Amino acid sequence: MTPALRAALARAKARLDTLDLYPQPVTLRRVRIVVAPWFFRLPGFRRYHGYALVRTIVVRRPDPSDDLVTHELCHVWQMQQRPLHVCWSWLVHSYRGNPYEVEARAATAETRATAATPTSSAASAVTSHQASPGTPSAS
């Protein structure tokens, strides 16, 4: 992982640390960002910019916005706290109505004002195109 991606993770953690969503803060232990444009060429993933797995955030571009990384790291945090419930939720709820997706979007929006690095308009547009654990982001 590049130093820039490592820094993006640190900024996202700092944003999420301002929230009290779960008893334990998000940990970056073994969390990584992987740039894999090919992943988003797979059927079902083409319209997304990011995707969170258990400890891996997959992004389309090598310079993901802070909002995108924060959103995806929120999903990692959710899985750190309630792994079975998160997985179950993705099976029984639609993408837009999934409470964990709603929570990640809200966490990103709520912490945007506290972000140290301003996001560009393009970065803000990507915010709603986040991925979630095992479920792609909707556009």
**Would you list the domain boundaries of the chain?**
3-129
C-alpha distances in Å from residue 139, one per residue of 21, 107, 126: 25, 18, 9
Looking at this protein, which amino acid is placed at residue 60? Answer: R
Q: Report the distance separating Cα 2 and Cα 79, nearest Å.
A: 24
What does the buried/exposed string (b/e) look like for 85-95 if buried means 16 or more CB atoms within 10 Å of the residue's CB? ebeebbeeeee
Give me the pLDDT at residue 43, please.
92
Q: Report the distance separating Cα 99 and Cα 105, nearest Å.
A: 10
Give me the pLDDT at residue 117, please.
47
Give me the pLDDT at residue 116, please.
55
pTM score of the predicted model: 0.81
For the chain, the distance separating the N- and C-terminal CA atoms, rounded to the nearest angstrom, is 27
Using 70 as the pLDDT threshold, list the residues of the chain that sit under it. Answer: 115-139
